[in-house]
Amino acid sequence: MSVSIDYDLCENTGCCEMVCPEDVLEHDGGRTTVVDQQKCTSCWICVDNCVSGAITVD
């Protein structure tokens, strides 16, 4: 799986990190990053909770 963040759209709320059950994302220093692609199970919870539509899962 591949999780991507469009930083032009991202509002850096950290919501995606809070809802991710696999700890794929990390919100630190006011920026959200993908820290472990391998853990992604394609549950789409991060996508469903991203208010700005900045996250995609392929």
Q: Which residues pair with 27 in a beta bridge?
A: 32
Domains annotated for the chain, with CATH where assigned, are 3-52 (3.30.70.20)
Over residues 14-41, the mean pLDDT reads 95
Using CA atoms, how far apart are residues 54 and 5, in angstroms rounded to an integer? 5
Q: Is the pLDDT of residue 1 over 80?
A: no
Q: Is the pLDDT of residue 11 over 80?
A: yes
At 55 the three-state DSSP class reads strand
16, 11, 45: which is closest to 30 by C-alpha? Answer: 11
Over residues 28-53, the mean pLDDT reads 95
Structure confidence at residue 50 (pLDDT): 96
Structure confidence at residue 53 (pLDDT): 97
Q: Is the pLDDT of residue 28 over 90?
A: yes
22, 52, 43: which is closest to 34 by C-alpha? Answer: 22
Structure confidence at residue 54 (pLDDT): 97
